[in-house]
Every structure is written in C-alpha cells, then in structure tokens.
Amino acid sequence: MNTFVTFEGIDGSGKSTVSGRVCEELKRRVLKVVLTAEPTKTPIGEFVNTCIRTNANPYLTAFTFIADRIQHCAQITQWLDEGKIVLCDRYAESTYAYQGAQLQGTIRSPMKWLQDLSNGKIIIPDRTFLFVIPPVKAVARIQQRTELIPFERQAFLERVHRNYLRLCTGPRFTRLDATLPIETLVLQCVQTIIGGKNE
Ligand code: TMP
C-alpha cells in the first residue's frame, strides 16, 4: 500500500491544513499513513529555518534545503518499506520554486540547476498536489498571522507562483484550486490517493 505523496504551493495556499486533514481521513479508513514535512525537525532542518528567518545567502539556503531533503529521504524510504502512505508537506518542488526565485538573475536557468543538483539523490514522489491560489489572496490570508518571514512578501510569492506553474506539469502532478473549501480539497486529495492505489 506504500505511496509517496507531496503537497506544494505558495505560503498561505492552505496545503498544511489540508495535508493534516488528509492524514486524519486516511487513518479513519484504517490505512497506514505518516505525515511529515520539510524543513524537517532535525538539526539540519533547524538550520534551514535560521537561513529563512535571517534571509541568508541563497546558495547556502539552497544547499541546506537539499541536504535536509537527502537526509529526510532515508527516513521516507524506511516508511515506504514498511508499507506506509507517506504524506509530505513541501518537498523538492519547493526548492526549485522558492530558491529558483531567489537565484533568479544570478545564474542561468536556476530551476534547472537546482533540479540537476537533486537528480539521483532524492526519491521521486508518486503524486504531487499543487495548491494554486492567486498570490494576492494568499498574502491576505498570511497577513492574519503575526510575524511575516521574508519569503511571504507578495512580489516574491508572485515569482514563486510562476515557477510552480512552470514546474508542475506532467502526470505526477494534480493541480487543485486552493480557493475551494477545505472539505472539498481534502476529498479531492483522498480520492486521488486511494484511486491511484486501485489502478
Ligand atoms: P512552511 O511555511 O511550509 O513550513 O515552509 C517554510 C518556508 O520555507 C516557506 O516560506 C517555504 C520555504 N521553503 C523553501 O524556500 N524551500 C524549500 O525547499 C522548502 C521545503 C521550503
């Protein structure tokens, strides 16, 4: 029953709420499921969070995110070997979209460069959900929180949003309208995951 599912989208797209609810729903159906996230809660993940908060050098940030992911993949592989459904809130497309936006203008084709760095070193998900929302709406949602991190500025999120739309094409990706009610989104994800396993 093992399958690896990732949830992607700009800040404020609601993917963390939905992935949590999807996990509960799959458990209710007596499926073996684990919910994880990046950056991870390991020392490397903590360092990643410091990089984000302090607006560190984008190359340092990119390499650290990839290092965190490579370490995370060992754990994900173990869960998959145990027959679990692994749900991951943010994964490789986050690095390509966000660090691609940060590195824009410093090197040619930053997203391709980041993909090349990762290829062969990380697991490819079976399914990736992209939560699509206009950045102006996402920022309105985020502003209700107290402290904004640098990545949550609208101009930056516009670039990340465009990167996601360029990246997330092909059979692995399912695009979701993130402005729909949470219940609808949860149902769409659950049906896609379970339907995918019955194919
Ligand atoms: P979170 O809000 O989903 O916990 O993610 C924290 C921030 O980290 C969010 O603004 C997106 C950013 N991020 C990257 O820039 N690159 C990555 O590879 C990942 C996983 C997250």
CATH of the domain at 170: 3.40.50.300
Segment among 22-36, 57-71, 73-87, 139-153 with least mean pLDDT = 139-153
- Count of domains observed in the chain: 1
Q: Is residue 157 part of a domain?
A: yes
Whether ligand 1 lies within 6 angstroms of the CB of 164 is answered as: no
Q: Is residue 137 part of a domain?
A: yes
CA of residue 96 to ligand 1 center, whole Å: 11
Q: Is residue 42 part of a domain?
A: yes
Nearest atom within ligand 1 for CA of residue 91: 20
pLDDT above 90: residue 197:
no
What's the pLDDT at 149? 77
pLDDT tens-digit series, residues 14-44: 999 999 999 999 999 999 999 999 999 999 9
- Alpha helix (H) residue ranges in the chain: 15-28, 43-53, 58-81, 92-94, 100-103, 110-118, 135-142, 154-167, 182-198
Nearest atom within ligand 1 for CA of residue 95: 18
Q: Residue 129: beta bridge partners?
A: 7, 174
Q: Is residue 171 part of a domain?
A: yes
Full domain range(s) for residue 16:
4-193
What's the pLDDT at 145? 75
Q: Is residue 158 part of a domain?
A: yes
Q: Is residue 198 part of a domain?
A: no
Tell me the best of 48, 89, 90, 161 to mutate to test the pocket of ligand 1, counting ligand atoms within 8 Å of each CB and taking the most: 90
pLDDT above 90: residue 74:
yes
What's the pLDDT at 146? 66
Q: Is residue 28 part of a domain?
A: yes
Q: Is residue 73 part of a domain?
A: yes
Q: How far is 27 from 24, CA to CA, in rounded Å?
A: 5
pLDDT above 60: residue 198:
no
Residue 34 has which token pair? Answer: 């684990």
